[in-house]
Amino acid sequence: MDEFLEVGQTWYVLDYKWYESWKDYSNYADSASNFGKDDPGVIDNSQLLEEDGSLKEKIVEDINFATVPERVWHMFVKCYGLANGQEPIPRPVIKMGTFTKVTKIELYPLPLLLAHYKHPTDGKLERCSVAMTIGELKVKMRKLYKIVEEAEVKLVGSYTSAEYDKLDDDSLTLEEANLQPRQFVVIIQKDGAIWPKLDTYKKTTASCFTSSTKASTNGTSAKSYSSSNGFSSSYSNGSLSSSSFFSSSSEKAGAPGLCGLRNLGNTCFMNSSLQCLSNVPTLTKFFLGDAWKKDLNSKNPLGMKGEIAETYADLMKAMWSGKNSSVAPKYFKGAVGRFAPRFSGYQQQDSHELMAFLLDGLHEDLNRIKKKPYVEVKSTDGKTDEEAANQAWQDYLARNDSIIVDLFHGQLKSTVRCPDCKNESKTFDPFCYLSLPIPPKKTKKLKVFFVSRDLGQLPVKCRVKVPADGSIADLCKSVADKFDVSANKLVAAELYNSRFQKIYKDQEFVRGIQDRDELYVYEVDEAEGQMPVVVYFKETPTKSYQTARNLCIPSIISVPVDVTYDDLYDIINSRQQLVNSEEAMAYLSNNHNADIDQRNGLQHHLNGVDIVDKDMGGDVDRDMGGDVGSEKEEPMDICSSPKATDQPQIFDITLVSQYGYSQSNGLPYTGSLGLKPLNYLAVEFDKGLNVVRADDAFDVKEDDSLYDSQSEPGVTLEDCVQLFATEEELGKHDTWYCPVCKDHVQAFKQFALWKLPKYLVIQLKRYKSSMSSYSYYRDKVDTLVKYPVKNLDLTPRVIGSQTNSKYLYDLVSVSNHFGGLGGGHYTAYARNHDLDQWYYFDDSSVSAAAENSVVNKSGYLLVYERHE
């Protein structure tokens, strides 16, 4: 939505695929003609919600969800409705950050356990905006515990059974007070003229934590706490024990550096980055001593007032003390959020972005240049590359001099060449990390549900290999080869919540299909004069305000081009397996007083079927009535008319939208229906009919290809470096002004390594976006990159004047990302320098790791150390 955020507004969260369907329908986005598109139907946010109705964690905007302003939400609900049993998901617009403020939608309110000091076991879990002040929280707790206004009260924040923080400043926001998810806030009431003694606070907090530990043991209260805040997977068993914030005394402390980091709510990305840097020995040694204090530059206007350096140093000392098995980086997270609000709150972020911010923040906080001089950009005309590079480096050092520059900064040579006059421009720029592209795959494996026309077979979930730049026709050929069917008989479609999102055209590319998409390939039959139609099987609601629910996976079946209502009924009835013959006979006898001949006729159709259908395939000629997947006609303007026969029927057939929602158009009971290929129909069984409700209505058979352990060839890190250094042409919208031609041209650009640092940080560019003629899409590259653990030799790649220097590196740490764009989890591998042993860090968990496990498909961020 083209609307600015303003503090105080309320925006609403809704399913992204529904939103995209609405944009297609309304032609909101610039795209090909959308004439004839079906409306998106009711808003269904079920994919965004946990079972208790709370918002799922680790969902990503513009992939899983979209947000719209309040007026738009009400318009949507008025026009399309909201799925039964679902509540709206409103979210406030607030200011976040302290020194750098941004306006954001608060997706996840802060869950706090509130308690009264006299009744510590009666804790109440409440979700509060981080923009709420301590004073407002105090008012809220007064009302909650019915404390009169005249009574003096204080708030105490408890992190462990033995520690607490006084929350005295009513003007601070919860963010500024650094309150964390699921911590206790206790309200203390003055008893006459006397405040309870310090020991009372400690007893109260101890009771709180004891109560929560018992709750997590009995499996009741802990579950309710966990389910109501949206962070259930970040905390084992939903426990609210003291170990959620600091090391538990019952846990065995590890060796220095073998210290986990507590997940504070989707902070695995931060924990992964911190573990990677923690195991950079030179940097950690610098912070464990007092040397960093001499460089502290708290007045640097580009810095973080020294807070990033101070909180990072405190965290390193806690992690390397050898006294803690795990710690909570809450003060560090608070400092980061104050200066970089994009990292405040509790949404999943990127480990590379956090590390880039942290290295820059540490650099500016520890910059030895107290007053940065103005440095004029000097001409490089007439200078050799060595002279130009040295001049650029000295100019950079005149304003930037820190431990981070000493250890992590290198220099790149960038050459831009005019394609017409061959004029070249060379620059030498500093870098703190290298972002390396991953060579594209030649093939792609897609997860597919194959639905056979054989009524006795379950859909088969499998993986098939297709060309990376292949088409849907290539996909159908791969599926056809696997299941020994004809590719011409296959129709590919994307389903979502058991509804058709789209039916693909053969010429569409597969590159936009992602692993989370529900891709179905239906087998239909070729027959003269037949065409495919889509059929939903629905349960008629028992109440007027309810909508019909899908009973099984929708089908694509074949019908004659000139099919009548009675013929269509017979075709569907012969294929449906949701009502057995005995039930249908009894129902018709009781409700329609059918004569014996009619019941015998029905018995011929039902034929004793009593299991749930999984495919309901049919016969179709792909060449009849237009190509499968061709542009749909407008919905037919057909009026209902009396049935052509008095034969009793157990279900009605209606014309519906693409998503299975009812339309105003009925089907005529006489003459040809005038259906078009791939019209959408719904079968709704009569009220009171006992429809078979088997648990396996949506079951599938899993093929061995899903678990194919055959290793992919992958690519090497050298391949990535080679691609990084390859000359490329700039895009049409990224032109360069040539001073010789005096025109903007599509120039050629090339990078080269000039100077490399002691510690080399490499980001593997696993996220990509692309535009096809049909859509814009983003995807994750899951190619295995084989990066060396020892002796990475970049000497041949460095073209600087240090010809006698060797650039040999050993791997220090790896940040891993598991999952796709719509979620996932970060962990880290790191080599403990003191123990010379690899370890695996998964939030608070630390375990020994084999060296051969460090190289994996999830490797995303690499830190290398240069040989001395």
Q: How far, in Å, CA of 784 to CA of 762, rounded?
A: 15
Residue 476 CB partners (closer than 8 Å, separation 6+): 487, 490, 492, 506, 521
Residue of 331, 350, 333 whose CA lies nearest to 341: 333
Kindly tell me the sign of the dihedral angle through the C-alpha atoms of 379, 383, 385, 388.
Answer: negative
Assign 209 to helix, strand or coil.
helix
Q: How far, in Å, CA of 724 to CA of 745, rounded?
A: 22
Other Cβ atoms less than 10 A from the Cβ of 721: the count is 19
Cβ–Cβ < 8 Å for 348, 57: yes
Chain position carrying tokens 């098995």: 325
Residue of 578, 548, 560, 557 whose CA lies nearest to 656: 548
Q: Classify residue 707 by its DSSP letter.
A: G
Out of 208, 259, 268, 276, the active site residue is 268
Q: How far, in Å, CA of 342 to CA of 240, rounded?
A: 27
User: Which amino acid would we find at residue 551?
Assistant: L
Q: How far, in Å, CA of 184 to CA of 266, rounded?
A: 19
Q: How far, in Å, CA of 759 to CA of 433, rounded?
A: 9
Query: Which residues sit opposite 531 in a β-bridge?
Result: 559
Q: How far, in Å, CA of 841 to CA of 839, rounded?
A: 6
Cβ–Cβ < 8 Å for 307, 299: no
Q: What is the β-pairing status of strands 518-523 and 443-451?
A: parallel
Cβ–Cβ < 8 Å for 654, 552: no
Residue 731 CB partners (closer than 8 Å, separation 6+): 746
**Both structure tokens of 96:** 């976040």
User: Which amino acid would we find at residue 592?
Assistant: H
End-to-end CA distance of the chain: 54
Q: How far, in Å, CA of 815 to CA of 263, rounded?
A: 16
Cβ–Cβ < 8 Å for 433, 589: no
Residue 763 CB partners (closer than 8 Å, separation 6+): 352, 433, 434, 435, 436, 860, 861, 862
Report the number of secondary-structure helices (H) and strands (E) in the chain: 18, 40
> In which region does residue 615 sit, left (phi positive, over 0), alpha (psi from -120 to 50) or beta (all else)?
alpha
Q: Determine whether 825 is an active site residue.
A: yes
Residue 796 CB partners (closer than 8 Å, separation 6+): none
Chain position carrying tokens 């249908």: 584
Q: Determine whether 268 is an active site residue.
A: yes
User: Which amino acid would we find at residue 707?
Assistant: Y
User: How does 433-463 read in b/e, with b if 16+ C-beta sit within 10 Å?
Assistant: bbebbbeebeebbbbbbbbbbebebbbbebb
Long-range (24+ apart) CB contacts under 8 A made by 4-7 are 5/93, 5/103, 5/104, 5/105, 6/93, 6/103, 7/93, 7/94, 7/95, 7/103
Sheet with 728-729: strands ordered across: 424-431, 410-417, 748-755, 728-729
Active centre residues (catalytic): 268, 825
